[in-house]
Structure 1
């Protein structure tokens, strides 16, 4: 009898072509399916809570798969972490009800986007943040975050190629803050946090790019609100680099 396994996965997306399996290029899904197939001696198809793009990282991606095995989940977790030599770590492995689905049963997702806001670049850790030399006005950026909280049509922040039929999403929380993460960052880190019912293709990165325009005073909060309401991607800011984006966690009922 097949059992349903749930994984919580952490990964550094720098050298991967995103989550989804592709004919060419290493992906998170491909690496996991290869490792599981080797350990369990059967073909495994794994399903994630959603796709992350090339270069995007995860602290708490959730995935599930079915396998014909009586292996203990803890033993399987240890086996995967021992077998996978790339920047992927299984944080948790558990057996769930057969009906569990990592994507369809997800109720919300949380993302963090990190910005280094200082004149000098970073020698260590540059692969995990966007470096901006000029100071950002966080108060103005947070005024914009108030506009996107709630149920809205986020068409202005959706890149082409999204598989979704509707661009309406509910944002439960959005905000920008600075913090001292200790050496080597000191007080130069800025993080944008957002929690929502779901996300469109490049939605978080497009919001960040547009927020940065306001933070640099190239636009103002009123203009940001107009961009949101216009449902026109051409009016929004550039897509922020993938390297600063982290899928923090996926929440289930």
Structure 2
């Protein structure tokens, strides 16, 4: 499971957002607008907001699910288990389908959006980490600095985005969300979200969410129960974030930028 690689990944991630003499990236802060209940047993891998509800994909072998969640109460309204032994990862919606990746099984699942009933499977090479959509394409992360662009009808790769921060490839790109023409991406095992220009692949901003995570002694696995999960309500311009097994989901408002990195 991903947890096995956590400490090794920390060494890689630590070098990702370094500044250079010729380029720097603005760093945004945040304020919490509202805190909502979140299932503390949900190992969040994918998150999105649609028509007043949250849709979430959870990980871990034997515990992976896709679910529809009431935002205000955190109540799970619908839930379907991901077939064993697949490890659930990111999700996106295309038309009347919910599409879910799995970590290392080289396959994803398609569900009926209204019922979460499984409809089909589809193959892809490599690992699957996260999905989002701009309304025309799907974008898929696999833990590398390359985000794949997929045809949402065939689910085949039709392009790619090479992501760099200060000229260096950005490793461990995880959960994705399309926000106002940018791709917001959790960087696994950090407190930062990268704001990526999809035209150039450059990180054009960092969102520093230091201080948002629960206290380590309240988490079952403080090394791996990290920030992961971004959802955006475009109609009301609301940004939501959470983490793996966090008891809260937060609506935040960005501040700054206050500095550059």
Q: Determine which structure has the larger helix proportion and give its number.
A: 1
The two structures have a TM-score, normalised by structure 1, of 0.24
Q: Determine which structure has the larger strand proportion and give its number.
A: 2
The two structures have a TM-score, normalised by structure 2, of 0.24
Structure number with bigger Rg: 1
